[in-house]
Structure 1
């Protein structure tokens, strides 16, 4: 995955392992059930209601990258089947966009993962080429080209490239610990005991 590996971890596991504010604010959702993605970001900053920047990004982004686009949350159909097919042919892994998209059934049929802030059929213009590859802020989280972006049903997490390997290693440790905890729960232990919460007094009402 172009030098970045996630170990298959969920966004929740990576977020907890990071101990950082790397989770985008809620609102970016998978546009078809089961969609998930992970890979290095290729950033796109465009103008809401115009999708020319996305056309340029599909042509410019290196294979094995995820397009991460800021379109100001505009409720328009910035992306659909045509761009998804073009992106797949180019070897791109998916799209995360603060803005609307359309053709959700077609995207599901293609198996092309898209996370967006809305679904809308409203048409777009093609007048603004946008800015490609420059740092941006996606729902409160800074993202630079090459950073690791992971998205699943729980949300979107963006990790700076330089810290991603260490976060993934800590996520491995968390998963191993949680497997042990789940086993002990199935053996009859309580969460109060396992997390050392039994000594905390319940507030009387």
Structure 2
């Protein structure tokens, strides 16, 4: 994968740059793919169900409202994502089981960690555009992530 700095140098403002500082947790610090989205708040049922479907190299962007009160993904859901062929997951919220997730061949970026489980009611929406820190993540647009940050096609 081309480093995000080089991609930005080549494509400039055709790419949005996420200024929000996310931590990298997965075994693959560099990942890219077409975007799918989930918007939910302290409820990971939709995250779990989407990541259990064929990913075909996609990246799931989860707008969890920035909440760090509960984890939206743990090691079992992350393993399901690997088994289903997802390239990565970006979570505007927290994860848990970070040590186990670091061993998986999956890109994972999130705000932080919290061992507390989330609700499982399935409240939220799937595959609608979400905005995180001013960057619009549209289903089907490509996302590029590495150690320097996250870029998204406009």
CA distance in 2, matches of 1:90, 1:61: 5
CA distance in 2, matches of 1:79, 1:91: 16
CA distance in 2, matches of 1:98, 1:153: 17
Q: Which has the higher helix share?
A: 1
Instruction: Answer yes or no: is the 8 Å Cα contact 2:27–2:103 preserved in 1.
Output: no
Alignment partner of 1:53: what SS? helix
User: Is residue 2:102 matched to residue 1:108?
Assistant: yes
How large is the Cα RMSD of the aligned pairs? 1.8
Instruction: Answer yes or no: is the 8 Å Cα contact 1:24–1:141 preserved in 2.
Output: yes
CA shift for structure 1 position 111? 2.3
Across the two proteins, how many residue pairs are aligned to each other? 152
Residue aligning to 2:19 = 25
CA distance in 1, matches of 2:26, 2:85: 20
Distance 1:60 1:110, change over 3 A: closer
CA shift for structure 1 position 26? 2.3
TM-score by length of 2: 0.89
CA shift for structure 1 position 46? 1.0
Q: 2:33 aligns with which of 39, 43, 60?
A: 39
Instruction: Answer yes or no: is the 8 Å Cα contact 1:42–1:61 preserved in 2.
Output: no
What does the per-residue CA deviation read over 1:146-182, in whole Å, with 9 as the maximum and x for residues that have no partner? 111011111111113xxxxxxxxxxxxxxxxxxxxxx
Instruction: Answer yes or no: is the 8 Å Cα contact 2:86–2:106 preserved in 1.
Output: no
Higher RCO, Cα 8 Å, sep 6+:
2
Distance 1:34 1:61, change over 3 A: closer
User: Is residue 2:21 matched to residue 1:59?
Assistant: no
Report runs of 4+ in structure 1 exceeding 6 Å deviation: none
User: Is residue 2:130 matched to residue 1:136?
Assistant: yes
Instruction: Answer yes or no: is the 8 Å Cα contact 1:36–1:151 preserved in 2.
Output: yes
Residue aligning to 2:78 = 84
Residue aligning to 2:87 = 93
CA distance in 2, matches of 1:93, 1:31: 13
Residue aligning to 1:176 = none
TM-score by length of 1: 0.68
**Unpaired segments ≥5 residues, structure 2:** none
